[in-house]
Structure 1
């Protein structure tokens, strides 16, 4: 039982249309699945990834049209990152962000890697991270129809940052329950706060890291548009996921039990500071119900929702995702 790295992250947006435009036209990612939130079928769930939706490259969004602005704070997934092939790619992206008026900072260094912090149109915090010196979990393959040249394209999820009031509690879950290991640290961005600790799993590297920040000067986050709902970690297959279900239950950690999401199987639980974790299988994948050449173009529904298609479509604002 070993987690293989990051699987996906899921965030909130107030506009599926603007979200689609930003992540495909600006960031050049591929929409690999247009479906609905299985726990709230009145809203879209959009999945962006590499060319085939490889586990570890997935960035997903729930559309909540009336969501207020995310209020940043503690007990949160406070920052996401996206991997690019090398340092040269960051220079390309800095120029691209300037041309397209994307809010960004300068290229800087973090724990031995070059990074480029930026925000999306709703203020969600990201940074691009260079894989130039990375030797861990492999990235994906950029979509060949992307407006971004393949040599500079986004190749997967990079480290995610958790901000919590008591880092020790989250660290215990990561190490003693989930099998992560401490591999380093770097200075906090706020004077007087502890160093940010780097944890990684499996082969390690940018695609398998959690950065844990302790802050004693923040109120809890109020989740809204531009905020992150949960982070998922990779599990090999369903058999192993069921072993994780039993492990989490045996430790008396509140959890969802086994959940069939059709495109993958899942288990959800919260760590002690309240952040929602998911364990998700690498497959079956997004080509299960669509031709790989046409992923994300039509509204896809898992079999257990197909008999409600007419009602679901009637309550969704049409979203043209055909390229």
Structure 2
């Protein structure tokens, strides 16, 4: 398949290069004026996600604007709860609302019977992207990791009180385990369909993995990621898998040590030298730059970016952020960042 033998894919599989391949989390998004225009055309955010032509268009936008080495599917991690039967809405200025917040009764009502029918437009977006992307630009598919998606489902939206969800795990471990198992199955099925439609790498985003005790992290983040990765490799052994468990600190080594993990993303709080010494021998490292540096721009951004690149010279590394672009990011700063890495 076109895009399989590219700098990005080869790097995920263990090849070092200089300069490294570049892509960015949230490279398609509100910081781009062309995205805002397409978003207005679509109507609601979910309408944009489910409109295959418009979702493909916003995926293409940063590829047209910048010299990037990979595209990432435009979708949202909360499409899975909606496909399982929980109501999902995005309120202007308030973020996602999932109703009602999931309890044991709600869990029993979830169903995967229509998941692929609901998510069919996403698979069509993948097909449109594979047909339209340049051969040297591979497509990354993605999903939210089970724990992160579960936090939204249980809280009814963005997690405002992490302690309450830890308490939920301790108080009713059976319920949380059943929910995680449900999400492992649904997420695996979703990602397999993305691969079959043309995705050439997969990233699993675990945004809320941080702040968990080790035994809880193992139960709700590490072990589910291992199960998903194993099933994906069983289906498509050549498709690289990137894990991004944000905020887990030294536990990142456990994720990098998973046999089916090709790469791990590091957040902006992860020490770069530690990642070079500890993670690079186990998996390709991706990311690390504070996205707020790109908002600031100028010499602080360029100096940090070059220092990050130099830290990983000689080992497989993908240049990226430690989290996604914020809406305040000036697009011209992104151009300057890419130029700095390409010319370093």
The TM-score normalised by the length of structure 2 is 0.30
Which is richer in helix?
2
Which is richer in strand?
1
